[in-house]
Amino acid sequence: MDKLSVMQAFRRIVERGSFARAAEDLGVSPALLSREVKLLEDSLGTVLLTRTTRSMSLTDAGRLYYEETLGILEAVGQVENRIREGAGAVRGHLRVNASSSFGQTVIAPNLPGFLEAYPDLRLTLSMDDRVVDMVEGGFDVSIRIRAAMPDSALVARKIGTIRQRIFAAPRYLEQAGTPQRPEEIISHKVIGFMLADHLTHWRLTGPEGAVTLDLDPPVRVGNSLVLRDLLIAGQGIGTLPDFVSREPEARGDLVPVLPDYELPSPEIFAVTASRLGVDAKVSAFIEHLRAALRD
């Protein structure tokens, strides 16, 4: 028995003074209302309404139940109204999770504008290169970079695409030579990204089609910012996503190797735990980040 629905029905019966009129208002049959009230009385162990063929009246217990019901239903209505009024407001505590490199290079530079736009918002940004359990960690949204998201109870919204290319420092290439064909990468010192799908297998697409390289990187790191710094220091050849490579490439600290070849482009997903939609603060963050990625 849905107690809240029964309370609403009982109030309507009392206020309309008739099962038939209350049933008409509620769009149900009088017999159904009669059964609901009988179940309610049985659960309470007392009679709430005395009925004859011509009249209906409240017992003392019924009057008490009716009066208390009014307060309960009013309180429920106030709570629902407050939630509806606040549903479109960007306020509260937003908890975001992202990888260290994406968090530092993409999210962090765009946080000031986001926080200025929504001054009533509290924000926690957790950066972790591991895939965390969103529900256990209490996160509202997690930014994940994957070729595809596996089926799960989580909801993934695509907000961008990443370009991945091969880079090295000019001084490394001066010493070790510049590869002219994909197969020549194998003879170079490769620095691998441990969390990437292509740690030991690079599938490159270029003018001659797709080429797969089987590699055994002697240096492997779990953070693409560390990988970037090792490449800048002339320690070898490696792959970087565009959000990490953009600035050092613009400065000339890194140059593309085999610029006509690229690795598969992973997607950027904003992952939430609810299939019922997201609240205003999560929507605002996702749209702010989506706009930053477009720019």
Residue 217 lies in a domain: yes
Q: Do residues 287 and 247 both lie within one domain?
A: no
- The last residue of one of the domains, among 55, 70, 87, is 87
Q: Do residues 170 and 190 both lie within one domain?
A: yes
Residue 262 lies in a domain: no
Q: Do residues 12 and 150 both lie within one domain?
A: no
Mean pLDDT for 155-167 is: 91
Q: For residue 33, what pLDDT band results from cuts at 50, 70 and 90? A: confident
The vertex-169 CA angle with 216 and 184, nearest 5°, equals 45
- The last residue of one of the domains, among 87, 115, 136, is 87
Residue 119 lies in a domain: yes
- SS3 label, residue 274: coil
Contact 218, 202 (CB under 8 A): no
CA–CA distance, 286 with 289 (Å, rounded to integer): 5
* Structural domain count of the chain: 3
Q: Do residues 12 and 78 both lie within one domain?
A: yes
Whether residue 73 has pLDDT greater than 90: no
Mean pLDDT of the chain: 87
Q: Do residues 14 and 147 both lie within one domain?
A: no
Q: What share of the chain is helix, strand, coil (3-state, %, to 5)?
A: 45, 25, 30
Residue 110 lies in a domain: yes
- Percent of the chain at pLDDT above 90? 47
Q: Do residues 182 and 238 both lie within one domain?
A: yes
Whether residue 132 has pLDDT greater than 80: no
Q: Identify the domain containing residue 139 by its residue range.
A: 92-158+268-294
Q: Give 208-254 pLDDT, tens digit per residue.
A: 889 999 999 999 998 999 999 999 999 999 999 999 999 999 999 99
Amino acid at the residue 208: E
Confirm whether pTM is higher than 0.85. Answer: no
CA–CA distance, 13 with 62 (Å, rounded to integer): 12
Q: Give 9-23 pLDDT, tens digit per residue.
A: 888 888 888 888 888
Q: Which residue carries 């799908």 as its tokens?
A: 197
CATH assignment at residue 186: 3.40.190.10
- The last residue of one of the domains, among 87, 109, 128, is 87
> How confident is the model at residue 19, as a pLDDT?
84
> How confident is the model at residue 137, as a pLDDT?
80
Q: Give 90-131 pLDDT, tens digit per residue.
A: 888 999 999 999 999 999 999 999 999 999 899 999 998 777
Mean pLDDT for 50-56 is: 77
Residue 263 lies in a domain: no
Q: Do residues 79 and 98 both lie within one domain?
A: no
Q: Do residues 80 and 121 both lie within one domain?
A: no
